[in-house]
Chains A and B, each alone.
Chain A
Amino acid sequence: MHFFMLKLFSPAFGLLFQEATSEPMHTAWEKAQHPDLSRFLVIGALLFIIGVAGVLTRRNIIVIFMSIELILNAANLNFIALSRYLQETGNVNAVAGQIFAVFVIVVAAAEAAIGLGIVIALYRNKETIWVDEIDILKW
């Protein structure tokens, strides 16, 4: 079990766990000095999870929209990091990830405009921004 946990979290906390136990500390330091693709992917994953947690736990619909922006931004970070990885591994002209990120930003802007329009219409009719009070579809 202990070994499984170490294996599970080694990319994110390899600095703290795996290298500290299996190898000398300075190797971990060396690794932290040279962040590679996996570190960017981990940062993207953590931002994504923070966004998901915000969507699931908050009551304020505006903050829920902000959390969605965080999620989309984490996806963008992954796209850009993988695009850079492709450029480094031989395909010098690989910019597909960056182009996809442009479209993600466009869709995020459109979604924010429509979503906030809905928030305003809702607030005008129901006088509330708490998602647990907006329940007329339930019955």
Chain B
Amino acid sequence: MILSGWEAVFFWVFSIAAIFAGLLTVMARNTIHSALFLISSLVSVAALFILLQAEFIAGVQILVYVGGVMVLFLFVIMLVNVGEEERGQEEIFNRKRQVTTSVIFCGLLAAGLLYAINEGYKGFLKRDEVKIQAGTAERQAREQRMATAATGSSRITRETERVGGSLYRFASLPFEIASVLLLVAIIGSVMLARTLKQEAAVDDAAPDELQQEAAHDPEVLEAHNTL
């Protein structure tokens, strides 16, 4: 897979944007700024997905991550108090010794990963030329068969259709398991985020804790008694 021309330009632009936005996510003092930098990093990676001809994943990335998960993050930031951090009254990093150790560890990890990529890539370069040529021929024939778009300037890819077909054909059991996982996550997060009053209303709170809380908030006991 070798990009060239404008693709290469876009590759460098988006990869540098993704890495800088990632760095700023980790280093920003304001948590909201962190979230916004994470959004720009995710969008840049989605653009890299488009360069890799994975349009469906790029769309899912933007819809699910940026549209769903990041909005959830922003709501939670709203619910907790991060004012001291923003005003500079709290240290945003751990103590110096821990940070030094982690940075050394990350440096070693970076060296190891880059070395592994460098060594492993030699194996990737050993390819079966006959197979590549057959694949290229098939891909070109497939591109000829693709329908042209209404403007006539481009062709309509069938990549998404292929991904969807393979998803249901080869991964239907994991797909069902993923749906159960999401259901469990929904129920779990609703259970976790309840207040004591809501727990008392369905008789799900510890009795001693309930009495303790009722001492300065009689509404809790009321909710429990109206059961």
Interface residues of A (CB under 8 A from B): 7-12, 32-43, 45-54, 56-60, 62-63, 65-67, 69-70, 73, 76-77, 80-81, 83-85, 87-93, 95-96, 98-99, 101-103, 105-114, 116-121, 123-124, 129-130, 132
A41 adjacent to B54 (CB under 8 Å) = no
* Docked complex Cα distance between A60 and B191 (Å): 23
Q: How large is the interface on B (under 10, 10 to 19, 20 to 34, 35 or more residues)?
A: 35 or more
Inter-chain contacts of A90 with B (CB < 8 A) = 127-128, 131-132, 134-135
Secondary structure at chain A's binding surface: helix, strand, loop or mixed? helix
Contact call A132/B94, Cβ cutoff below 8 A: yes
Residues on the B chain within 8 Å of A112, using CB: 69, 72-73
The answer to whether A69 touches B31 (Cβ under 8 A) is no
Question: Contacting chain A: which of B106-114, B145-153, B200-208?
Answer: B106-114
B90-131: contact bitstring with A at CB < 8 Å (1 yes, 0 no)? 111110001100110110011101110110010010011001
Cβ of B219 under 8 Å from chain A: no
Closest to B196 in A: A124
A-B pair count, CB < 8 Å, reads: 271
Majority-rule SS of B interface residues: helix
Contact B42 A11 (CB under 8 A): no
- Residue positions of B touching A, CB distance < 8 A: 1-4, 8, 11-12, 15, 18-19, 22-23, 25-26, 31, 34-35, 38, 41-42, 45, 48-49, 52-54, 56-57, 60-61, 64-65, 68-69, 72-73, 76-77, 79-82, 85, 90-94, 98-99, 102-103, 105-106, 109-111, 113-115, 117-118, 121, 124, 127-128, 131-132, 134-135, 138-139, 142, 162-163, 166-167, 170-171, 174, 178, 181-182, 184-186, 188-193, 195
